[in-house]
Amino acid sequence: MARGRAEAVNSFNLKALQRAFGKTGQRAAGAATLLLGTLLLLWPAIYNGFPLLYPDSMTYLADGAPVARALFLHRFSAYYGIRSLLYSLVIFPFHCNLTAWPVAALQCLLTAWVLWLLVRTLAPRRSRWSYLALMLALSLLSSVSWYASFIMPDVLGPLVYLCFFLLVYAGQSLARWERLSLCILAAWGITAHATHLPLAAGLCLLLALFALCERQHFRLRIGGVAQCGALLALAVGMQIALNAYLFGEPTLNGERPPYLLARVIADGPGKLYLQFHCTERQWAVCAHLESLSDDPDDFLWGPSGIWESSSEAEREQISRQEMPLVKAVLRAYPHQQLQRSAANFRGQLGAFAPYGFDPSPWLAEQFATTLTPARASYLRSRQARSLLPLDQMALIQYWTVMISLGTVVALAALFRLRLGARLWALCGTVLATIAANAALTGILSVVDDRYGCRIIWLLPLLAGILLIEARQRLGAARHKR
């Protein structure tokens, strides 16, 4: 009898040991899969010899230190820049003005992890192999690897939208730490760029509409939507609190240039309005009537542009008059502005070539004060020597997007109602955010390939997810036979 008890105890201990080793092996396999996915996304930086940069990258890297000094040492500065201060603050410990590689690795890791959760949730069978195949295709054929390796907050926008989808449609299948991590990532991503907040808010409303269409799971879905709404409120609160602390004024966007004014002037109606009405009101911009440009970037950032050449007092006056002047232009020429805005939207929808990685003399000069030890490494990179295959990548991406769009339409038509609520919601999330991004940036800012390229990779991702689903359904049908 004692021997039987001993055998039972030994058998129980062996099973417990096997379970422990099994869980350890699964964790190790999951970590290895995630690491491989991260490396697949990091290949453009490795190929380049340095993380990819844009002139704004140096501003984001430089702004972290003064914000950290103000927050933790109470040593305030006169100027903190116009970019996302929370993005600069979070990445600062990863680079410390020494090297940009940890920032690129962080963004690639976060992207790889969110995509792993997405594949694991939607395709639980053979998820590791499906994930790695999808990551290989996306990293080579789309812009996701280029933008994950890019020292800019651009990749965080799509990650926010995928986080919202996962919180609403996969919250119950995720571990508590995974849900918490998604919430932290989403809140940070919303604050990382001015366009992420309105796009995330619009997606929250769209997901609420999807929840209304699912009577059976309405309570479950609407709880996830409420969580997303809370994250939006948290992100807004963090931005307002930080700006109030740094600038002494509770604003959402800090010292924002007059983007809307530059847009309506560049579109034509704003310039036309000023030519006829400058004598009626004392618009500050009327002092520069002969210098008005058809390019909003020239208005804002050109060396001889209106904004750059204006004094501090003139800038304050232009900023105060921005919204009244924009409203006056819209009242005077609504149809003309609507036509121009529609054209800008169409132009932005088709602008997604991976350009914007050209070398910049100004960028190289900024290494004197930011990332000084890494300057020689950057100058040896392919980007600094204009050797990146951008035209080839643009052609590859164009055909990838076209084929992905055809694949999505074909598979959606094939499955129709059998696609399931989650996959239909993913289709709606991807297509709606791509269209909304084009409308927001093209109409309110400027038509730029970078704005489309940073999000267009969601379309190949969607096509890949649908192909994985089709493969699983074919496998299940064969197994039944």
> Would you write out the chain's pLDDT as a tens digit for each of its 481 residues?
555 555 554 555 555 544 545 567 777 888 899 999 999 999 999 999 999 999 999 999 999 999 999 999 999 888 887 788 999 999 999 999 999 999 999 999 999 999 999 999 988 777 889 999 999 999 999 999 999 999 999 999 999 999 999 999 998 889 999 999 999 999 999 999 999 999 999 999 999 999 998 888 888 899 999 999 999 999 999 999 998 998 888 887 766 788 888 899 989 998 899 888 887 777 888 888 887 888 888 888 777 778 878 888 888 888 888 899 999 999 999 999 999 999 999 999 999 999 888 888 888 899 988 999 999 999 999 999 999 999 999 999 999 999 999 999 999 888 775 778 899 999 999 999 999 999 999 998 889 999 999 999 999 999 999 999 888 877 766 666 6
CA distance 468 to 126: 10
| Residue 38 DSSP code | H
What's the predicted TM-score (pTM) here? 0.91
C-alpha distance from residue 232 to each of 171, 238, 454 (Å): 17, 10, 21
CA distance 362 to 354: 21
Classify 143 in phi/psi space as left (phi over 0), alpha (psi -120 to 50) or beta. alpha
Helices assigned H by DSSP within 380-448:
390-415, 421-444
CA distance 476 to 473: 5
C-alpha distance from residue 238 to each of 81, 153, 251 (Å): 17, 17, 11
Residue with tokens 């995928």: 162
Which residues are registered as beta bridge partners of 52? Answer: 150
Q: What share of the chain is helix, strand, coil (3-state, %, to 5)?
A: 80, 0, 20
Helices assigned H by DSSP within 42-100:
43-48, 55-72, 85-95
Task: Using CB atoms within 10 Å of the CB of residue 403, give its burial: 0 to 12 exposed, 13 to 18 middle, 19+ buried.
Answer: middle
φ/ψ of residue 52, rounded to 5: -70, 140
